[in-house]
Every structure is written in structure tokens, then in C-alpha cells.
Amino acid sequence: MHISKYMAFILVFIFAIVSPQFTKAQDGMIGADDDLNIGGDIFSDFNEDLQEQQIYEDERYYKYGRFFSFSMGIGYTTWDGNRGKMYEDLPPTFNLTVQYFSDFQSAWNIGFAYSKHNISLTKPTQGISSAASIDISMLRMYFGYRYYIDTSNLGTAITYSNPYITARFEYWYEQEKIETVGEKKEDSFGGAGVALGGGLEFPIKIKESYVNIEALLHTVALQDVRTIKYASKDGGPGVPDLSGFAYSLTVNYVWNW
């Protein structure tokens, strides 16, 4: 009889301890099942954090960012290779750009640049029968992209300069005015190319005006690149073609709004 009482007491004691823990475990499993069910909110907190971060970035950009810019500038354009051997550069190069900013670091631009060069021939070549002066005008229209480097963790001087890298697609239009003894004629060519480079933008007034310095390497497939017009004749000066890369450096004044 005493043993039965002791056994009943022990069973009641064990049940009193285990029952709350079992109920908690069931509640936890039900909650986990709810999160794993289709339509559950296991990622809701994560998505809310992302949305809040995006809203913060948008508000920060609308407050401190630039939206559009217009720039005008002058600079210098030169060539290497065979074209560089023949060309005498006639600065300045003129540049005009309109730009749209999609965020703090990305910008898209369109514009054009114009440069002039000259070839002076003292002796005939394969394509020109006498001494001549050739004036060359080069107009290039372009569409480009700029990526402004995040300098928030760098020094003040680097942050102040707003460094960026850029790439752009270009179309070049070349016009030649050839003047020989008693004769004048014109010729024109075109060709597509790309340019790669980078630049710096120093603020004059934050968000309103900047001074831009940009350096570019251009490669372009002009139609006269394989011409033998300027090839040597009878041992005189000349080049077998007009291959070469172009280089440009421009300084621009930028208005933003």
C-alpha cells in the first residue's frame, strides 16, 4: 500500500515537470511550421531591412546627389603610330557633354568633340603628285558611361577629387582639305571606335559646379587607315598606312542641377 502511494506521488511529480516543457516544445514546432508554410514570413524581417535601406539610399541621393550636368571644355588631341608621324596637331580640342546620373556612382553621357590637324608634304607621295598642305578636321560624337569610385573610406584629398573611370562608343567623321599647286580638293571618311580612360572632378560649389579633367585613349577604325596615299615615292618621306591610337586630354567646366 505504501509503495503504491510512493509510485503515485512520483508519477504526479514527473508529470508536473514534463508537461510545461512538452507544451513549449509543441508551441515552438507549431511556430516553425507556420514559418515554413507557403506564404509564411520567414524572410519578412530581412525584406523589411532591405526596403528600409533602399528608402534611406534614395532619400540620401535625392538630398545630396546630382541628376543632370552640362559641360564645355577645351583640350588637346594627338596620335601615335604612322598617323602620328604625319599629323601636326593644331590645338585646342573642343568638347561638349550632357550627362545623366542614375545614382551616386553611375552616369551616362552623350556629346561631341572636335579637333584639327595638318599634314605638310614637301615632296610627292604615292597619292599626291606634288608638295601639298592638308588640313584635317575630326568630329567625334559619342555615348559613354562613367563609374565614380566610392571614396568614402579614403583620404580627404581623394574624396574631394571625385575620381571616375569611363568607357564610350564613338563615331568619328574626318574631313580632308588638300591644297596643292593650282589645285584644291576635299575628301571625307568615317569610322567607329571606342575610348577608355578616367578623370577627376573638383567641386567649385557642391552639387552646382565642378572643374573636370579627363584623359582618354581612343581606338578607331577610320576608312583611310589602310590608305597608301601618303606612302613614300622615289625615296621621299612617307608612311605605308595611317594606323595609330589617339590620345586626348580635356579640361571642362561642369554645371549641375
Grouping H, G, I as helix, E, B as strand and the rest as coil, residue 213 is strand
Q: Average pLDDT for residues 181-206, to the nearest whole number?
A: 92
Q: What is the pTM of this model?
A: 0.75
Per-residue pLDDT for 219 more than 90? yes
Is the CATH number of domain 66-256 3.30.565.10?
A: no
| Domain spans, the chain | 2-42, 66-256
Judge contact between 216 and 197, C-beta under 8 A.
yes
Whole-number pLDDT of residue 91: 95
pLDDT (tens digit per residue) in 96-116 = 999 999 988 999 999 999 999
Query: Is the confidence at residue 118, as pLDDT, over 90?
Result: yes
The pLDDT > 70 percentage for the chain reads 75
Average pLDDT along the chain: 83
Burial class (CB in 10 A: 0-12, 13-18, 19+), 182: exposed
Q: How many CB atoms lie within 10 A of CB 58?
A: 12
40-75 tens-digit pLDDT: 555 555 565 666 666 655 555 555 668 899 999 999
Share of the chain above pLDDT 90, in %: 57
